[in-house]
A and B are shown apart, each in its own frame.
Chain A
Amino acid sequence: MEWLNAIVQGILLGGLFALFATGLSLAFGVMRFVNLAHGDLAILGAFVAVSVTTALGLNPFVSLVVVVPVMLAAGYALQLGAFNFTISPDPLPSILVTFGLGVVIQNALLQTYSADSRGLDVGSIEIESIKITDAIAVGWIPLITLVVAVAVLGALQLMLSRTALGRAFRAVSDDPATARLMGINDRNLYAVAMGIAFATVAIAGVFLGIRQSFGPLDGPAQLLYAFEAVVIGGLGSVWGTLVGGLLLGVAHTVGGQFEVSFGYGSGPLLGHIVFLVVLATKPSGLLGRRAE
């Protein structure tokens, strides 16, 4: 029963990982761009939510109405003003720019908010849960997070497969030069994609902040989990990202069962091991179309 509970909680945790992974997967899918500041941007979003909730007295869920558009605009502007200049067959400039940005965000947050852990308080719903059996209870917050993750990924999949914008994304992903000849403004499209990526990562950051306490230096760990979810699920597959997130979540909670004998690192460590095993045995990921 203990193990079954670990798996159920892992699936719920996986919803959060999938939400983190969405933006990373989109930016890579559309423009082969790897954003090493991804996790730090989520934490930045959570801190913006802290400021918004304290300044306006809003519920953190409602603060999304402010945080998401702000981050969307930031993503659009950063891509147009900076990241677009690093897009080339050579991955070095984009890695360096986003890695530098991440370190700057971490230390700027340390300067502004101090190293203290913060949390986002949404009231009594935080501790309420649905009791399934005596040993298994599903918390409302993790459940809402999973539902939101599925909704965001579903909306992304629909957008990519059904809309004109999605067609344009797929076109620049396949062949940017030809897409340009067809009248697509690829630079602007990249900015839109980065805006969407920032918006999803801001949602992920706020949900992380509601679920657990966080500090300015927690970004890199979230980047690594998001990256692992993308690789486990398979590059270029939206539902793969969900599957990857869920599997990683289960690895974390099942690993957490060894906490007493091994220590607090046992959950993340099993997550890393699952990632490495998938990388070694199926580099294209579980649902991926190609290896990268």
Chain B
Amino acid sequence: MTEHRVTRSDRQSTIGLALSAVLFVLLFLLPWWDGDGSLRVPLVAILYYLALAQMWNLLAGFAGLVSIGQQMFVGIGIYTLLSFAEDFGVDPYLSVLLAGVVAAVLSLPVAAFAFRLRGGYFAIGTWVIAEVFRLIALESDFLGGANVRTLTRESLGGYSLDTRNTVTYLMALGLAAGATAIVVLVLRSRLGLALRSIRDNSEGARGLGVSVARAKLVVWVISAFWTGMTGAVILLHNPSTRAESAFSVLRWTALVVFIAIIGGVGSTTGPIIGVAIYWFVREFLEDAEEWRFIILGLIAAVMAIMAPRGIYGLLQKRWTVQFFPVRRRLVGPGVGRSAGTGPPGRAADAVGTGR
């Protein structure tokens, strides 16, 4: 007698995982076949944007925490790396990890204030707190944010330019792949189940013993940690900064939000689609940053009204596809005969629908 069980994998997600693994290996080996770095250098920006978009998506798409203050964690990461590597002589690559730790620690007091606000007011509240950090960096003599500060060759140690480029690229790849893996793993865990129950019915979830505040806080700290490390890698890629650019809401939150909305908020695949579209727009409008913001902003605003689940949501309306194994389905005798192809996958907890 066969038993009923809940599964998250199906043939598609197995193929999806296999394809992702192949892509990852190809990208990982890139430094050894992309000799002149013509592909590697532009890819770094795409990869760190993917990491930022996945982390924003984890907050906004799954935990209902629509943060417009992500630039604070990027800026904290940038200034932590500068400070540790330049002022204290810590190894820059170790400092990347420390940047994440500092961002995670600082995210706790931030949460103590911001979590008192809901919805749109939470969004502006996080923005205010990001401004506080920007002003502190700008006015602090120690951080010297009003001046351009550069990660100098001395603090980058004895590493050659080629090694540095390769390590930065591999770190960006690790952050992007890691961010995607974190979202997939969180969704598969108890925490993911808790988040979805909160999203569907907050009071009901609370009644069943889900600690809403704790679940949100855990996700908040994870996102801060990863965003802070991403900030540090952004500095490794582009070693000069000042407070205005390190805490830029346009670069580190607006673009990230647009990428996530266009691709699909509340799905793991959405940010990957979004970042591909960002790459495309960037190639076409290389020297026109303002037009990039106008076009991506307009597409994102229109999509938020017409297709709130983004391109991934539009694809899902036609085909039930899942790239990563996160959706829970019941299989066993009598159910799921059409598993993976038909409506069963569109159950209430389907990722990307049923919000």
Q: Which residues of A contact B (CB under 8 A)?
A: 28, 32-34, 36, 82, 85-86, 90-97, 99-101, 103-104, 106-108, 110-111, 220-221, 223-224, 227-228, 231, 262-266, 268-269, 272-273, 275-276, 279-280, 283, 291-292
The verdict on A227 contacting B124 (CB below 8 Å), with A96-B304, A101-B297 known, is: yes
Inter-chain contacts of A266 with B (CB < 8 A): 139
Sampled A-B contacts (23; CB under 8 Å): A34-B119, A36-B124, A82-B305, A91-B120, A91-B123, A95-B66, A96-B265, A99-B68, A100-B257, A101-B301, A104-B293, A104-B297, A107-B293, A107-B297, A224-B124, A227-B124, A231-B121, A269-B139, A272-B128, A272-B135, A275-B128, A279-B113, A283-B116
Interface centre among A97, A99, A104, A266 (most CB of B within 10 A): A99
Inter-chain contacts of A291 with B (CB < 8 A): 116
Bitwise, B281-309 to A at CB < 8 A (1) or not (0) is: 00000000011011001101100110010
Inter-chain contacts of B153 with A (CB < 8 A): none
B312 proximal to A (CB < 8 A): no
B146: nearest chain-A partner, CB-CB: A263
B131 proximal to A (CB < 8 A): yes
Contact A92 B124 (CB under 8 A): no
Q: How far is the CB of A234 from chain B (nearest CB, A)?
A: 13
Contact A100 B120 (CB under 8 A): no
Contact A228 B128 (CB under 8 A): yes
The verdict on A107 contacting B290 (CB below 8 Å), with A96-B304, A97-B304, A100-B301 known, is: yes
Inter-chain contacts of B120 with A (CB < 8 A): 28, 33-34, 36, 91, 94-95
B116: nearest chain-A partner, CB-CB: A283
Contact A227 B304 (CB under 8 A): no
Complex CA gap A9/B260 in Å reads 44
B60 proximal to A (CB < 8 A): yes
Contact A268 B135 (CB under 8 A): yes
Inter-chain contacts of B352 with A (CB < 8 A): none
Contact B305 A97 (CB under 8 A): yes
Contact A111 B294 (CB under 8 A): yes
Q: How far is the CB of B265 from chain A (nearest CB, A)?
A: 7
User: Would you list which residues of chain B between 102 and 139 have a CB under 8 Å from chain A?
Assistant: 112-113, 116-121, 123-125, 127-129, 131-132, 135-136, 138-139
Please tell me which one of the listed residues A28, A104, A224, A275 contacts residue B301 in the complex, with CB atoms under 8 A apart. A104
Contact A96 B261 (CB under 8 A): yes
Contact A220 B66 (CB under 8 A): no
Complex CA gap A264/B134 in Å reads 13
B355 proximal to A (CB < 8 A): yes
Inter-chain contacts of A36 with B (CB < 8 A): 68, 120, 123-124
Contact B290 A100 (CB under 8 A): no
Give the 5 A-B residue pairs with the shortest CB-CB distance, closest first. A34-B120, A100-B301, A91-B119, A263-B139, A96-B304
User: Would you list which residues of chain B between 138 and 154 have a CB under 8 Å from chain A?
Assistant: 138-139, 146
Q: Is the interface of A mostly helix, strand, loop or mixed?
A: helix
Contact B139 A262 (CB under 8 A): yes
Complex CA gap A276/B112 in Å reads 10
Q: Is the interface of B mostly helix, strand, loop or mixed?
A: helix
Q: How far is the CB of A148 from chain B (nearest CB, A)?
A: 25
Complex CA gap A36/B66 in Å reads 12
Contact A111 B290 (CB under 8 A): yes
Complex CA gap A276/B125 in Å reads 9
Q: How far is the CB of B354 from chain A (nearest CB, A)?
A: 12
Contact B123 A90 (CB under 8 A): no
Please tell me which one of the listed residues B132, B254, B294 contacts residue A99 in the complex, with CB atoms under 8 A apart. B254
Q: How far is the CB of A3 from chain B (nearest CB, A)?
A: 21
Contact A99 B113 (CB under 8 A): no
B250 proximal to A (CB < 8 A): yes
Interface centre among B119, B120, B293, B298 (most CB of A within 10 A): B120
Q: How far is the CB of B304 from chain A (nearest CB, A)?
A: 4
Inter-chain contacts of A28 with B (CB < 8 A): 120
B306: nearest chain-A partner, CB-CB: A85
B289: nearest chain-A partner, CB-CB: A107
A263: nearest chain-B partner, CB-CB: B139
Please tell me which one of the listed residues B116, B131, B261 contacts residue A268 in the complex, with CB atoms under 8 A apart. B131
B301: nearest chain-A partner, CB-CB: A100
Q: List 19 additional A-B contacts (Cβ < 8 Å) besides A34-B124, A100-B300.
A: A28-B120, A32-B119, A85-B305, A90-B355, A95-B120, A95-B123, A96-B265, A97-B301, A100-B261, A107-B290, A221-B131, A224-B124, A227-B124, A263-B146, A264-B139, A268-B135, A272-B129, A280-B116, A283-B116
Inter-chain contacts of B298 with A (CB < 8 A): 100, 104
Contact B257 A96 (CB under 8 A): yes
Inter-chain contacts of B123 with A (CB < 8 A): 34, 36, 91, 95, 99
A35: nearest chain-B partner, CB-CB: B120
Complex CA gap A63/B250 in Å reads 31
Complex CA gap A134/B330 in Å reads 81
Please tell me which one of the listed residues A97, A224, A264 contacts residue B128 in the complex, with CB atoms under 8 A apart. A224
The verdict on A92 contacting B139 (CB below 8 Å), with A34-B123, A104-B298, A279-B113 known, is: no
The verdict on A269 contacting B294 (CB below 8 Å), with A34-B123, A263-B139 known, is: no
Complex CA gap A92/B265 in Å reads 10
B323 proximal to A (CB < 8 A): no
The verdict on A86 contacting B305 (CB below 8 Å), with A92-B265, A272-B132 known, is: yes
Complex CA gap A7/B355 in Å reads 49
Complex CA gap A272/B355 in Å reads 34
Q: How far is the CB of A266 from chain B (nearest CB, A)?
A: 7
Contact A276 B124 (CB under 8 A): no
B249 proximal to A (CB < 8 A): yes
The verdict on A272 contacting B131 (CB below 8 Å), with A36-B123, A97-B301 known, is: yes
